[in-house]
Structure 1
Amino acid sequence: MYEKVKATVIKYKMLEPGDKVVVGVSGGPDSVALAHILTRLAKEFRLTIHIGHLNHMFRGKEAELDAASVARLAEKLGLPCTVERIDVPAYLSEHRVSAQAGARYIRYAFFEKLADEVGANRIATGHHADDQAETVLMNFLRGSGVSGLTGIPPVRQGKYIRPLIEVSRQEIENYCRYFDLPVRFDASNAKNIYLRNRVRNQLIPFLQKEFNPKIVQTIARFSEIARDDNEFICREAEKAWQLLGVEERTEEIRFELDRFWEWPRAVQRRILIKAWEAVTGSARDIMYTNIENLLEFLKTGPASGYIELPKGIVAQKTYNSVIITAQYEPAQIEYDHELKVPGRTIIPEAGLTIITDVKQIAAYNMDAKAHGIDKGLKAHAVDYDRLHGDVRVRNRRPGDRFQPLGMRGTKKLKDFFIDLKIPVAERDRYPVITAGDNIVCVGRLRIDERWKITESTRTVLIIKIIDEIDS
C-alpha cells in the first residue's frame, strides 16, 4: 500500500520537498494509516509533519479516548500533536445547521487555524477510495450533474491533499493490522440514520454482491473520467464567459443572449452556474431543475420578464440581455393608511380589509379563547399597551426589519420572505402593520416578538386580515 500511496502523491503532485503538513487524525484506521505513511514518506520528501485532532464533543467518554489514542500515536511516531476540544453541539444549536455540515465546518476551520499556527502549507485528510465511491453515489442519487460525479478531488485549492484516495478501506485496515497501529472505531458509523451510512452499509455491499465485486474501483475510475470531462467543460465555460463580455457588479451579473446561444448546452449550464456563484458567493443551493427552467425561460419565455431562483435570486430577461441579481424588486404597490382601532380599514390597493378590536383581560392566560379571541379566525393578538405611535398599515419597503415571533434577533423582511419561500411577485400581498417606526406584524404571517402577549398584558389588540374588500 505504501508504494500505491506514493504513486498517488506523485501522480497528483500532492507534495513538494520541504512541505510542512498538518495531518488530520480522528483516531480511525484511515487517518492513522495516513499519519504512518506520511511519516515514512517524510525523509524522501523532507516533510515536516504535525498531527491535529479535534474533539467535537459529540460522544462523551468515547471522544476523550479517541483523543488519548491520537496523542499516543503521535508520541509513537515522534510527531508534534495538537488536540483541541470544541463544543460542536452548541454550535449546531446556535446556527441551526445539520450535525454533519456543522461538524465539517468546525473541523476544517480547526485545520486552517492549526496550519496557520505551525506554518503548514498542506493539510492532509484520510479520504480513501470507499469514501470516493460513497460520495459519487450520493451525488448521483441526488440528481447531480457531471461536477458532482467527480466526487472528492485528490487535491483541493492546492492545499488540501488526499493521499489515500486510490486505496480501499480494506487495504487501509490490513495496513493498520500489519503495523499494529492503535485505531479507534466510531460506533455511529454503523447507524443507518445518515444517507452516507446507508450507502456505505447497505447500497455498496448490495452492488458488490449482486453486480460488481469491484464496484468501488469501478466508481473511482468513473469519477476520474468525470473529473477530466468536467475540467474541459469548465475551461470552455471560462472561455465563453470572457467572450460574452459579462458585466459583473455587486450581487449582479449581466450578459447578452445572442452570443450565449452559440455555445453547447453543457457550456450554457456552466455559464449560468458561474453567474449564480458570482451573485451568491457559492455554487450551493442551485439545482439541475433550476438551471433547466432558467434555460427554457431564456429560450422561449416572453421578451421581457423574470423568473425566480432559490435564495431570492431573480433572473430578469430584457429582449437580448439577461440580468441575474439579488437586488431585483418588481414595481411595488404603494400605500400607507391609518389603521382604525377598533374598526375596519379598507386597503383598496391590496384588495384587503383589516378588522381590529381591543379587549381588556384581567389575568394572563395563553388560551386565546379565554380572552374571547377565536384562533379559527387566524387573527393576531398583540399587547396594545406596549405599542407607541400611530398604528398604520402600509406596503413593504426596502430595509424593513423586524423580530419574528420566537427569534432572538431582528431579520430583514426580505430575508424573512425568502426563508418562507414566498415568491417576489406575491410579497405585496402581505401588508405591514406598524406602530411608530416599529413593525407590529407582517400580514397573517408573523407578529413581532416584542409585542407578544405576556403575563403583564392587560389590553390586547386583535388584528384580522380578510383577502377581500369588505364594504
Structure 2
Amino acid sequence: MARGSRGSERDLVARFGECLTRLALGDGSSRVLVAVSGGLDSMVLLHLLRFRSSLAPSAIVAAHLDHAMRPESDVDRRWLAGVCRAWGVPIHHERLERSPSGESDARRARYRFLHEVASQQGASVILTAHHADDQAETVLFRMLRGTGIHGLSGIPERSASGVLRPLLSFWRRELEQYARASALRWRTDPTNRSLHPARNQIRHRLLPGVERGFAPAARRKLVELAAEAADVERALAQQVRAAEIAVVTRDGDAFVLARARLLRYDSATASRLLRALLRRFGTVLSRAGTRSAFQFITDASSGREFSLAEGVVMRVEFDHVRLERMASATSDCALMIPSPQPGTVWSGTASVGGSDYLIAAELAVGTEVDADGGAWSATLRVPETGYPLEVRGWLPGDRVRTSGGTKSLKKLFLELRIPRSRRHRLPVVADASGGILWVAGIERPLVSAPVTGAEALLLKITNA
C-alpha cells in the first residue's frame, strides 16, 4: 500500500484499533455481528476484524441478506459463504421472498434481519462498513432535500440501536489501498453504477462535478460539517433533557407540561422538547406544524384542544398543556347502593372514566369526614330522598347541593381548577332524585355532612 497523507497499511490498522477502543471493542471481549454484502467496504471491515484486531475469531459472526433484487445475487451469496469458510467466520444468510420496493424498504428489511441474527447469536453489537464518503454523500443528500441540525449530523458512529460503524473516519480510497495491499477480492454490485437512485447521482455526478469545478475539498468539508452538527446536536439534546425534567410530568400515558415554564425556554429548545414528546406517540411534526402547535400553546384558553396526527390531542388545562392519545370510548358502569343493614359493610364496584373503583358503605354514628381516607372517604347524612344511591361518572346538567342551594358540577370543577381530562375519571355519588351528594377525590361533601350523634352513612372509595 502506498504511503500517503493518511499513512500506510500499518497506519490504517493502528487507526482502526484506536477506533475499536473508542467504541469499547478494543479488549476483544465482545461478540460482534458484521454486516457483509461482499462488496469492497464490508470485505475490508471483515478482514480487519478477523486478521488485524484483538477480537477472538470465535467473537466474530457475519450476516448477509440477499434482497432478491438481482438475478446473480445468489452467486454473490455462495462466493461470500466460501470466503467466510476460508477465513473461519460463521455466516448467516437469508433471501427475501419479495424484493423491496425501494432503498428505504430494503434498508428496513436489512436492519430487521441483522437485529434478529444478533439476538440469536448473542452479539452485543452490529458492525456496518459505512465510511467517510458515505458520510459526505448522506449530508449533501439531506441538505438538498431540506434538513435541520439532526440531519446535518449525518450517520452516527454509534446508534442507540446498537449499530457501530468503525470505518466512518476512513475514506474509500484508503479502503481500496488496503484491499489491494492485502490481496483481497470483492464483488461489484452493477446497480451501484446506475444513475437511477438519487444517491448514485450524488456519488457519480454531483460530488465529482463540484470537486472538479470549484470545491476540491467538498467531501472533507461535508464530513467536518457533520462532526460540528453532531456536537451541536449533543448539546441541544442535553438542554432538552434538562427542560423535560423542569417542565414535564407524567399522568398515566399522558405528558403534562407546565405552560409558563415551557414558554420561558428559547424556541429551539422548546420546539425540540415538544417534538421529542410527540415522537413517543409516533407523531412527527413539520416546521409548519411545530409553529402552529406553539401558537396554540401560547394563545389558547383553558379547555381548548388541538388535534394532531396518530390520534394525539394537545389540550390546554388552566396553567398546563396535556399531550395524550385520544382514548377509545369507554362505557361507565354505575353502581347502585341499597340501604345498608346495621352492623354490616356493603361493597361493590363501579367503572368511571376507564378506572374501576371499589366502594364500601356502612351505617355509622355521624362524624366529620374520615381523616384517614382524605378526599376518597366521606361520612354522609342519611339521604332524605332515600335509597338507592348511585356511584357514577358526572353527566351534563349535574348539580351538587350547597348551603345556598345547588351549583352545577361544571362550575364547581372550574372553581377548583379540575382539568377536563380528570373530571370524567372522578366518581360522583347521587341520591335517588339525581342530586349530587359528593364528588369523590376532590373534597368533602358541601352540605351532606351528618349531625353529630345521628345515624350516618360512611363511604370509602378505593381503586379496585
**TM-score class, shorter:** 0.5 to 0.7
Deviations 1:142-191 (A, max 9, x none): 32211111111101127211011011122222222222212112222222
State the alpha-carbon separation in 1 of the partners of residues 91 and 55 from structure 2.
22
Q: Retained in 1: the 8 A contact 2:30–2:124?
A: yes
| Residue of structure 2 equivalent to 1:34 | 45
Partners of 2:117 and 2:274 lie apart in 1 by 36
CA distance in 1, matches of 2:85, 2:61: 11
Aligned to 2:31: 20
Q: What secondary structure does 1:123 align onto?
A: strand
The answer to whether the Cα contact below 8 Å between 1:52 and 1:111 also exists between their aligned partners in 2 is yes
CA distance in 2, matches of 1:64, 1:229: 44
144 and 329 in structure 1: CA distance in 2 versus 1, 3 angstrom threshold: farther
Q: 2:109 matched to which residue of 1? A: 106
* Cα offset, 1:303, TM superposition: 6.0
| 1:5 has 2:8 as partner | no
Specify the structure having the higher radius of gyration (Cα).
2
The verdict on how the C-alpha distance between 1:105 and 1:88 changes in structure 2, with shifts beyond 3 A counting, is: farther
2:86 and 2:258 map into 1 onto residues whose CA distance is 62
Letter in 2 for 1:115: A
Give a deviation string over 1:235-289, Cα, whole Å, max 9, x none: 1111111111322533x32212100012122211211111112222x7xx43223
Contact kept in structure 2, 1:5 and 1:166, CA below 8 Å: no
Distance 1:88 1:165, change over 3 A: farther
Name which of 72, 97, 101 aligns with 1:87.
97
Distance 1:67 1:328, change over 3 A: same
Shift of 1:25: 0.4
CA offsets per residue over residues 28-70 of structure 1, 9 Å max, x none? Answer: 111111101111244367871111111111112x211211221
Give how far 1:220 is off: 1.5
- The answer (yes or no) to whether the contact 1:143–1:288 under 8 Å persists in 2 is no
Question: Deviation per CA, 1:361-389, whole angstroms, max 9, x where unpaired?
Answer: xxxxxxxxxxxxxxxxxxxxxxxxxxxxx
Partner of 1:199: 202
Partner of 1:53: 64
Distance 1:319 1:218 in 2: 49
What are the Cα deviations for residues 69-111 of structure 1, in whole angstroms up to 9, with x where unaligned? 211221232212222222242xx5xxxxx42222222211221
Counterpart of 2:176 (choices 173, 184, 203) is 173
* Structure 2 Cα separation of the partners of residues 124 and 152 of structure 1: 13
Q: Distance in 1 between matches of 2:221 and 2:186?
A: 28
In 2, Cα distance between the equivalents of 1:18 and 1:309? 47
- For residue 316 of structure 1, what is the aligned residue in structure 2? 315
Do residues 263 (structure 1) and 273 (structure 2) align? Answer: no
CA contact (8 A) 1:33 1:176 kept: yes
**CA gap 1:100/1:272 in 2 versus in 1, 3 angstroms:** same
Q: Secondary structure at the match of 1:115?
A: helix
Question: What is the DSSP-based 3-state SS (H/G/I as helix, E as strand, rest coil) of the residue aligned with 1:144?
Answer: coil
Quote the Cα distance in structure 2 between the aligned partners of 1:41 and 1:158. Answer: 26
- Structure 2 counterpart SS, 1:52: strand
- Mapped partners of 1:328, 1:143: distance in 2: 35
- Superposition map of 1:433-444 within 5 A: none
Give the distance between the partners of 1:213 and 1:7, measured in 2 at CA.
Answer: 29
Give the direction of change, closer, same or farther, for the CA distance of 1:239–1:55 in structure 2 (3 Å limit): same
Could you tell me how far 1:302 is from its partner in structure 2?
5.9
Q: Distance in 2 between matches of 1:310 and 1:15?
A: 45
CA contact (8 A) 1:69 1:183 kept: no
**1:213 aligned onto 2:216:** yes
Residue 132 (structure 1) aligned to one of 130, 135, 143: 135
Preserved CA contact (<8 Å) 1:154 1:161: yes
CA distance in structure 2 between the aligned counterparts of 1:162 and 1:305, rounded to whole angstroms: 47
- Unaligned stretches of 5+ residues in structure 2: 1-11, 330-464
Q: Which residue of 2 aligns with 1:162?
A: 165
Match of 1:68 in 2: 78
Instruction: Name the SS for the 2:280 alignment partner.
Output: helix
Q: Distance in 2 between matches of 1:55 and 1:241?
A: 43
Match of 1:305 in 2: 304
| Offset of residue 329 of structure 1 | 9.6
SS in 2 for 1:22: strand
Distance of 2:98 and 2:26 partners within structure 1: 31
Tell me the amino acid that sits aligned with residue 57 of structure 1.
A
Q: How many residues align?
A: 318
User: Partner residue of 2:447?
Assistant: none
Change in 2 beyond 3 A, CA 1:269/1:47? farther
Query: Cα–Cα, structure 1 residues 18 and 47, in superposed 2: closer, same or farther, change >3 Å?
Result: farther
Counterpart in the other structure of 1:442: none
1:326 matched residue in structure 2: 325
Report what 1:403 is aligned to.
none
TM-score in terms of structure 2 length: 0.63
Gap regions ≥5 residues in structure 1: 93-97, 331-471
Paired AA for residue 85 in structure 1: R
Secondary structure of the residue aligned to 2:63 is strand
In the other structure, the counterpart of 1:246 is: 249
Q: Match of 1:23, SS?
A: strand
CA distance in 2, matches of 1:306, 1:113: 42
Q: Kindly report the root-mean-square deviation, in angstroms, between the aligned alpha carbons of the 2 structures.
A: 2.5
